[in-house]
């Protein structure tokens, strides 16, 4: 299983805390508003907005919050944000991609650089680690959606590229440009997914021990605590024993 998936599991457990949940909703709202501003405020006519709304729902974001975020775009409210991607190395040479939305590029760059430095990392130039990842669409289903063969067949018919199945569930990958079509086809066959989003999928990973994982988590925690940072991806891998100790 790739590092980003394991980190997502850790995030999910931590996300039960109210403070973290509120911050997550704020970031999801920002993505919805930006997506609606850049296209049509109707999710059925705007693939990016549709995915943003779907991700918000998968994180149990209230319907009122979603509608309020879309309304902001229609009324022209809120700040003007630009999307920026930062790349760098964390502890033990782990590659890290930071995706941000900001109304002040200088502030965000300074904060991200400082966070890397304070937590054993180093912010690099654009492209410094990007070659270790592929931009992919990711759709996840719980184990009760069907057995591995059933999910594989549905995924191939929907136009997906790969499926990873385990006792915990199924993760389906597709080309980033095909995510809207693939996810719609999967929903027609399997029902509502647990999550649908664009990700950076590592093509190579760095194995970490317990100490390395603790240091990396500290860096990722600090980065995600920044209001401008939308998501963080790292190409780590850790054994089940190490993950259990965390």
Give pLDDT tens digits for 85-130.
Answer: 999 999 999 999 999 999 999 999 999 999 999 999 999 998 999 9
Which tokens sit at 229? 């940072």
CATH number of 133-202: 3.30.70.980
Residue 15 confidence (pLDDT) above 50: no
229, burial (CB in 10 Å: exposed 0-12, middle 13-18, buried 19+): buried
Q: What is the DSSP string of 49-89?
A: HHHHHHHHHHTT--HHHHHHHHHHHHTT-S---EEEEEEEE
Q: How do residues 35-80 score in pLDDT, each as one tens digit? A: 888 888 888 888 889 889 988 998 889 999 999 999 888 777 666 7
Which one has a higher pLDDT value, 155 or 75? 155
- The confidence band for 5, taking pLDDT boundaries of 50, 70 and 90, is low
Per-residue model confidence (pLDDT) at position 1: 40
Average pLDDT over residues 81-87: 93
**How much of the chain, in percent, has pLDDT values that exceed 70?**
92
Q: Do domains 82-131+205-245 and 133-202 have the same CATH topology?
A: yes
Q: Which residues, other chains included, contact 33 with Cβ-Cβ below 8 Å and sequence gap of 6+?
A: 69, 70, 72, 73, 78
CATH number of 82-131+205-245: 3.30.70.980
CA gap 117, 171 in Å, rounded: 34
Average pLDDT over residues 146-168: 95
- The confidence band for 142, taking pLDDT boundaries of 50, 70 and 90, is very high
Which tokens sit at 206? 């760095």
Phi and psi (nearest 5°) for 154? -65, -40
| 3-class DSSP state of 171 | strand
Q: Are 203 and 133 contacting, i.e. CB atoms less than 8 angstroms apart? A: yes
Per-residue model confidence (pLDDT) at position 10: 57
Q: Is the pTM of this model over 0.75?
A: yes
In this structure, are strands 162-166 and 133-142 parallel, antiparallel, or unpaired?
unpaired
Q: Which residues, other chains included, contact 199 with Cβ-Cβ below 8 Å and sequence gap of 6+?
A: 4, 135, 136, 137, 138, 233
Place of tokens 């599991």: 9
Average pLDDT over residues 153-167: 95
Residue (of 230, 232, 237) closest to 92 by Cα position: 237
Q: How do residues 201-232 score in pLDDT, each as one tens digit? A: 999 999 999 999 999 999 999 999 999 999 99
- The confidence band for 188, taking pLDDT boundaries of 50, 70 and 90, is very high
Residue (of 70, 20, 56, 69) closest to 196 by Cα position: 56
Polymer length of the chain: 246
Per-residue model confidence (pLDDT) at position 37: 86
Per-residue model confidence (pLDDT) at position 72: 84
Q: Are 188 and 218 contacting, i.e. CB atoms less than 8 angstroms apart? A: no
Per-residue model confidence (pLDDT) at position 45: 87
Per-residue model confidence (pLDDT) at position 3: 52
The domain spans of the chain are 3-74, 82-131+205-245, 133-202
CA gap 79, 216 in Å, rounded: 32
Average pLDDT over residues 14-21: 66
Average pLDDT, the chain: 89
Per-residue model confidence (pLDDT) at position 115: 97
Q: Are 154 and 188 contacting, i.e. CB atoms less than 8 angstroms apart? A: no
Per-residue model confidence (pLDDT) at position 4: 56
Highest mean pLDDT pick, 14-18, 51-55, 132-136: 132-136
**3-74 CATH fold:** Arc Repressor Mutant, subunit A (1.10.10)
Per-residue model confidence (pLDDT) at position 18: 72
Task: For residue 35, give Cα distances in angstroms to 38, 52, 156, 204.
Answer: 5, 7, 28, 31
Which tokens sit at 67? 């509608």
């Amino acid at each position: 299983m790739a590092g980003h998936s394991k980190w997502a599991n850790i995030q999910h457990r931590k996300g039960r805390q109210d403070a973290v949940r509120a911050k997550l909703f704020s970031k999801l709202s920002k993505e919805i508003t930006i997506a609606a501003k850049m296209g049509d405020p109707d999710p059925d006519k705007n693939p990016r907005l549709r995915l943003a709304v779907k991700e918000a729902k998968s994180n149990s974001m209230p319907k009122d919050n979603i509608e309020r975020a879309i309304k902001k775009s229609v009324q022209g409210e809120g700040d003007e944000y630009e999307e920026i991607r930062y790349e760098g190395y964390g502890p033990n040479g782990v590659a890290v991609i930071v995706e941000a939305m900001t109304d002040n590029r200088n502030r965000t760059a300074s904060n991200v650089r400082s966070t890397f430095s304070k937590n054993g990392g180093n912010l690099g130039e654009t492209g410094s680690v990007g070659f270790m990842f592929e931009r992919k669409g990711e759709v996840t289903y719980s184990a009760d959606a069907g057995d591995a063969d059933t999910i594989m067949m549905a995924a191939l018919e929907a136009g997906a590229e790969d499926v990873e199945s385990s006792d915990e569930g199924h993760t389906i990958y597709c080309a980033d440009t095909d995510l809207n079509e693939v996810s719609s086809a999967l929903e027609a066959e399997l029902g509502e997914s647990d999550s649908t989003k664009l990700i950076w999928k590592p093509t190579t990973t760095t194995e970490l021990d317990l100490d390395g994982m603790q240091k990396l988590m500290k860096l990722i925690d600090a980065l995600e605590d920044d209001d401008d940072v939308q998501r963080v991806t790292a190409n780590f891998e850790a054994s089940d024993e190490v993950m259990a100790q965390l």
